[in-house]
């Protein structure tokens, strides 16, 4: 079988080496399309692929139309909002993700941004510390759990809200369970977003919620820019000079931030939460193993489409 790794943002070379070991050992052929600039390159590369590994690359109906032999696509990562799931199903393509594999890298980036911001971007001006501050985890999945673990080391007071996770699970991680999303935002100076982008969550982080945050509020977004209502975000920045926004990916309203709110935000130029060698290895190798196993035994454990 031909397995294509199609990544607009390439994996670390070591990850490719280890992915190749997995595919070679199973007798499959590995093809690479890395750092591609135009979707036409993807359409050509996928034409004879039986399986595909992607990252945030868009797998649309157009891509699936071009992929005449494709049987499985694995998103090496957690969020699969880049896969058109109904189109995958219509094309009889199994879609999977690799949950948890890159979560530590994302949690570390959230802390890196928080620390950099708390120390005024290493300007030398007097900053602030994380110890004793409140951290709210909006969603308590794999990244949320790593966040809680790291936050404890910093001596932070950790809260979480997640309608899909029981109070017991949160308590075991030393996290205070909030009964409502309002409670989370009212209690916590820092709020970090860890939910997927879907019809329910898109634009859900709005002005109503943000205005509940205490003084010196910091919103940290390593999830998806789409979950934040940017109009509401800009409104809160107009009203509250104490507000900060740290985001792994520039918002659509970046120009307004640059013009009016200098020094109050951090935006990474390219989504880099999962961009570590370790995360690339974990997610890439997991994806390769899931494909090999699917071809060998039909295992659909991580299937995300119906």
Nearer Cβ to ligand 3PG (156/228): 228
Q: Which is nearer to ligand 3PG, 125 or 200 (CB)?
A: 200
Give the residue from 16, 62, 13, 14 showing the smallest Cα distance to 38.
Answer: 62
Contacts of 39 (CB under 8 A, 6+ apart): 58, 62, 63
> Torsion-angle region of residue 232: left (phi > 0), alpha (psi -120 to 50) or beta?
alpha
Contact 77, 48 (CB under 8 A): no
DSSP annotation string for 176-190: EEPSSHHHHHHH-SE
For the record, the structure tokens of 237 come out as 């920045």
Given the complex with ligand 3PG, which of 23 and 102 has the nearer CB atom?
102
Binding status of residue 232 toward ligand 3PG by CB under 6 A: no
> What region, left, alpha or beta, does residue 126 occupy, with left being phi > 0 and alpha being psi -120 to 50 degrees?
beta
User: What distance in Å separates the CA atoms of residue 5 and residue 180, rounded to the nearest whole number?
Assistant: 41
Q: Is 145 in the site for ligand 3PG (CB under 6 A)?
A: no
Single out the residue of 18, 79, 202, 268 in contact with ligand 3PG (rule: CB under 6 A): 79
The CB-nearest residue to ligand 3PG is: 77
CB of 264 to ligand 3PG, least distance (A): 24
Nearest to 1 by CA among 37, 49, 46, 36: 49
The Cα 159–Cα 288 span in angstroms is 36
Least Cβ distance, residue 55 to ligand 3PG (angstroms): 3
Residue of 142, 201, 275, 305 that binds ligand 3PG (CB under 6 A): 275
Q: Which residues, other chains included, contact 171 with Cβ-Cβ below 8 Å and sequence gap of 6+?
A: 177
One residue of 23, 56, 142, 290 binding ligand 3PG per CB under 6 A: 56
Residue 193 and residue 245: Cα distance in Å, rounded?
A: 11
Looking at beta carbons only, is 134 or 275 nearer to ligand 3PG? 275
> In angstroms, what is the minimal distance from the CB of 230 to ligand 3PG?
19
> Is 147 within 8 Å of 174 (Cβ atoms)?
no
User: Could you say whether residue 77 binds ligand 3PG (CB under 6 A)?
Assistant: yes
Cβ-based nearer residue to ligand 3PG, 5 or 156: 5
Nearest approach, Cβ of 104 to ligand 3PG (angstroms)? 12
Residue 158 CB, shortest distance to ligand 3PG, in Å, is 22
| C-beta closer to ligand 3PG: residue 189 or 305 | 305
* Of 159-167, 187-195, 213-221, 266-274: span binding ligand 3PG (CB under 6 A): 266-274
- Tell me the three state secondary structure of residue 230: helix
In terms of CB distance, is 51 or 197 closer to ligand 3PG?
197
Q: How far apart are CA 102 and CA 271, in angstroms?
A: 13
DSSP letter assigned to residue 205: B
Exactly one of 4, 46, 73, 78 binds ligand 3PG (CB under 6 A); that residue is 78
Judged by CB under 6 A, the chain residues 86 through 105 that form the site for ligand 3PG are: 102
Q: Which residues bind ligand 3PG (CB under 6 A)?
A: 9, 55-56, 77-79, 102, 271, 273-275
């Amino acid at each position: 079988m031909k397995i294509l790794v199609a990544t607009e943002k390439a994996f670390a070379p070591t990850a490719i080496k280890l992915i190749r070991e997995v595919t070679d050992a199973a007798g499959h052929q590995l093809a690479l399309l890395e750092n591609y600039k135009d979707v036409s390159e993807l359409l050509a590369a996928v034409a004879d692929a039986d399986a595909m590994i992607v990252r945030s690359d868009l797998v649309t109906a157009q891509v699936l139309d071009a992929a005449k032999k494709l049987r499985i696509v694995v998103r090496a990562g957690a969020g699969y909002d880049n896969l058109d799931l109904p189109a995958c199903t219509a094309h009889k393509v199994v879609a999977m993700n690799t949950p948890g594999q890159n979560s530590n890298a994302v949690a570390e980036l959230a802390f890196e941004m928080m620390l950099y911001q708390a120390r005024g971007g290493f300007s030398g001006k007097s900053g602030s510390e994380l110890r004793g501050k409140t951290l709210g985890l909006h969603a308590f999945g794999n990244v949320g759990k790593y966040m809680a673990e790291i936050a404890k080391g910093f001596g932070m007071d950790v809260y979480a809200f997640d309608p899909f996770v029981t109070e017991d699970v949160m308590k075991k991680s030393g996290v205070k369970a909030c009964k409502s999303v309002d409670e989370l935002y009212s209690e916590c100076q820092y709020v970090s977003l860890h939910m997927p982008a879907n019809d329910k969550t898109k634009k859900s982080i709005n002005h109503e919620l943000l205005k509940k945050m205490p003084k010196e509020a910091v919103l940290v977004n390593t999830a998806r820019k789409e979950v934040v209502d940017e109009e509401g975000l800009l409104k809160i920045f107009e009203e509250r000079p104490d507000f900060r926004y740290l985001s792994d990916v520039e918002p659509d309203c970046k120009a307004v931030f640059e013009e009016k709110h200098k020094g109050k935000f951090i935006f990474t130029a390219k989504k880099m939460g999962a961009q570590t060698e370790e995360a690339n290895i974990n997610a890439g190798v997991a994806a390769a193993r899931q494909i090999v196993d699917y071809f060998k035994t039909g295992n659909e454990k991580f299937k995300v489409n119906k």
